[in-house]
Amino acid sequence: MVAAILATEAASGTGAGRWYIVHRALDDQGQSLNIGPAAQTIALKGGWTCRVGSTSVTEARQTLCKNGSHAVEFSVQCGPDRLEDHAQIRFKDEAGRPIDFIEVGCELRR
C-alpha cells in the first residue's frame, strides 16, 4: 500500500523557511513533502493516520497519529533560537516488523 495524502489544506510554505513531512514512500524516492502553515493529514501503511497540526504562534506543530485505539502524539518547534528541529516515529506491524514512519521537521532561515 502506498501512502497517500488524504487532505491538503495549504499549498505554500512559511515565509521564514520550510516545514516538511517524510514517510516511507517518500523516503524510498528520496523526497520530502513541503507543507504550509495549515494542518495536513497523511495516511500511512498499517492503518495509521497522522494529522500534522497548523503552526502555532510559537512556531510549533503538534502531530497526532492514530490507528484504532492506539495513538501517538509529538511536537516539533522552530523559532529564532531553534532554527532546525525534527521528530520521527516508526510504526511496526503485530509481528514487530517496521512498516512505516513519519518525520516532521522544520528548517528556518537565519
- pLDDT category of residue 108 using cuts at 50, 70 and 90: confident
Angle in degrees, CA 54, 73, 3, rounded to 5: 75
Instruction: Find out whether 41 and 50 touch, Cβ atoms under 8 Å.
Output: yes
Is residue 19's pLDDT more than 90? Answer: yes
Q: Are strands 33-35 and 17-23 parallel, antiparallel or unpaired?
A: antiparallel
pLDDT at 17: 80
**What's the number of domains the chain is made of?**
1
For residue 13, what is its C-alpha cell?
510554505
Q: Which domain holds residue 60?
A: 4-108
Q: What's the whole-number mean pLDDT along residues 50-58?
A: 87
